[in-house]
Amino acid sequence: MVRMTSGSNHFLINTAALARCIHGLPVGKLFQQFPPASDKPLKRLAMECRFLHRAKAAVLMRCSRSCCIMGIWMTLAIAAHAQTNTTDARLATLEAAQNQLDAKLTRKLDELLWLQQLSDIASVEEVQFTGPPPRPRAKQSRDRLPPRSDAQAGEGAPRASNQTNAHSQTTPGEYAPASSPHPWSPDPLAAPSNHVVISALTFLPKNQHRGPKLPLIVLAHGEVHGNIATDESPHVVRELIEQGYAVIAPDYRGSTGYGVEFWRLIDYGGLEIEDVDVARRWMLERHPQIDSKRVGVIGWSHGGAIALLTVFAHPDNYQACYAGVPVSDLEERIRVLGKGYEDLFSAAHHLGKTLAEDPEEYRRRSPAWNADKLLTPLLIQANTNDEDVKFQEVQKLLSALRAEGKSFQCHIYTNAPGGHHFNRLDTPLAVESRREIWDFLRKYLRPSGKLDKKQSP
């Protein structure tokens, strides 16, 4: 407040009002609003007005400089943030490319290792054939670069509700009627895109030149985005060859070692099983010495689920099935392993939906929800201390099979050493467990040879 005095006239001028007046009012109008009794206060007020004008100009200049400096800093900050985002994206792309290159090199090294470890008893060959065209993918914003294949951790995901149907109403892998002109296409009227090239390793016994036809084992590899690897299956394949089986191990779509585009073609529990069945058909067409009526499919973990879903979808093509520690119920698995595991399925290049958004799609790809489709002789083995496929998950499959009145064999091991890999090791228990598998398969596939009981892998 400014106090003005002129004779007997005393009045106060609000400096805020004065400032508002100065901001756009001529000094004369200001005096008209506040008329003094003499010209002395007028002169003083004029001086103060000039002072305030200069102060205002100085403040505006400082504000302008501050705004300019602030603008520069904001521009630099935005540029730095954009550069950081670009750098992070480039690093993520480089890391993904490096992971894919590592997978390719590992896959090529594995081929050499297979030759080295089995060339004494088997003819080992890498072959390629075509599987179904890819499924159409919904365009979504969730897509991301491939992570490392073993990144499956995350926060817990809630179990979906409204579980009214006991089993899926669609056969796994079935996307169109058999009479469709394009039976692998979700839309029978839509022409499919190019078929997917599938690689596989084949193993034929060297000592089988003439004589009875060979039974065939289709080996489905384990792990989501895995492949047929020597660090898990060498003695399994060796023991099969020694008994007189021919073996084909397909790296179905989504397997690692074939680049990012093939990696993104994953179709868990869908066209994966069609790739496996095409491998069977290719082997029968290529090798007339193989008996089409003595074919079995086996697998562990994810491969166990693929083996189950394959015989559910194509029961007439297989005479026996073995599922070791099989992934059985995706709902239960996501509940236990959490969002990180669910992200493998909800990615835009895969299902594009979470469990909560489409529980029926997840059930259609889960063996436990398709138990009513079992028509093939089956052996299941599991382990109570399995930290990957929990026993309660396998129990859901066993309960569903029993509820449907299905006949099958199962052996549940209690706290067997090795957990998830208990019967793929070199321990006496692992050898004994595998002998149980071979004895089961022998009843239905009748191989010509026998595994030496004294022999240990």
Residue 366 has phi, psi (to 5 degrees) of: -115, 125
The amino acid at residue 286 is R
pLDDT at residue 415 tops 80 = yes
pLDDT band at 101 (very low <50, low <70, confident <90, very high): confident
pLDDT band at 100 (very low <50, low <70, confident <90, very high): confident
Average pLDDT over residues 401-407: 98
Q: Are residues 153 and 52 in the same domain?
A: no
The amino acid at residue 182 is H
Q: Are residues 246 and 321 in the same domain?
A: yes
381 vs 423: CA distance, rounded Å? 9
Q: Are residues 139 and 51 in the same domain?
A: no
pLDDT in tens, 103-141: 778 888 888 898 889 999 999 999 999 999 998 765 433
Question: How much is the pLDDT for 72?
Answer: 63
Q: Residue 411 is encoded by which pair of tokens?
A: 């052996």
pLDDT at residue 173 tops 80 = no
% of residues, the chain, pLDDT over 70: 67
Question: How much is the pLDDT for 69?
Answer: 62
Q: Are residues 61 and 146 in the same domain?
A: no
Which CATH number covers residue 133?
3.40.50.1820
pLDDT at residue 452 tops 80 = no
pLDDT band at 85 (very low <50, low <70, confident <90, very high): confident
Q: Taking the model in full, what pTM does it have?
A: 0.71
| Residue 190 to residues 134, 295, 381, 416, Cα–Cα distance (Å) | 13, 33, 42, 50
In three state form, how does the secondary structure of the chain look? CEEEEECCEEEEECHHHHHHHHCCCCHHHHHHHCCCCCHHHHHHHHHHHHHHHHHHHHHHHHHHHHHHHHHHHHHHHHHHHHHHHHHHHHHHHHHHHHHHHHHHHHHHHHHHHHHHHHCCCEEEEEEEEEECCCCCCCCCCCCCCCCCCCCCCCCCCCCCCCCCCCCCCCCCCCCCCCCCCCCCCCCCCCCCCCCEEEEEEEEEECCCCCCCCEEEEEEECCCCCCCCCCCCCHHHHHHHHHHCCEEEEEECCCCCCCCHHHHCCCCCCCHHHHHHHHHHHHHHHHCCCEEEEEEEEEEECHHHHHHHHHHHHCHHHCCEEEEECCCCCHHHHHHHHCHHHHHHHHCCCCCCCCCCCCHHHHHHCCHHHHHHHCCCCEEEEEECCCCCCCHHHHHHHHHHHHHCCCCCEEEEECCCCCHHHCCCCCCHHHHHHHHHHHHHHHHHHCCCCCCCCCCCC
pLDDT at residue 146 tops 70 = no
Q: Are residues 178 and 246 in the same domain?
A: yes
Q: Evaluate whether 186 touches 262 at the Cβ level (below 8 Å).
A: no
Residue 423 resides in a domain: yes
Q: Are residues 126 and 248 in the same domain?
A: yes
Q: Are residues 41 and 174 in the same domain?
A: no
pLDDT at residue 153 tops 60 = no
Q: Are residues 36 and 175 in the same domain?
A: no
Q: Evaluate whether 259 touches 99 at the Cβ level (below 8 Å).
A: no
Domain count along the chain:
2
Q: Are residues 197 and 140 in the same domain?
A: yes
Q: Are residues 253 and 192 in the same domain?
A: yes
Residue 89 resides in a domain: no
Average pLDDT, the chain: 78
Residue 410 resides in a domain: yes
Question: How much is the pLDDT for 83?
Answer: 65
Range of the domain at 16: 2-79
Q: Evaluate whether 332 touches 128 at the Cβ level (below 8 Å).
A: no
Residue 313 resides in a domain: yes
Residue 243 resides in a domain: yes
pLDDT in tens, 233-275: 788 999 999 999 999 999 999 999 999 999 999 999 999 999 9
- Among 79, 106, 139, the domain-final residue is 79
pLDDT in tens, 275-321: 999 999 999 999 999 999 999 999 999 999 999 999 999 999 999 99
Q: Are residues 179 and 309 in the same domain?
A: yes
- Among 79, 95, 129, the domain-final residue is 79
Question: How much is the pLDDT for 7?
Answer: 42
Q: Are residues 136 and 188 in the same domain?
A: yes
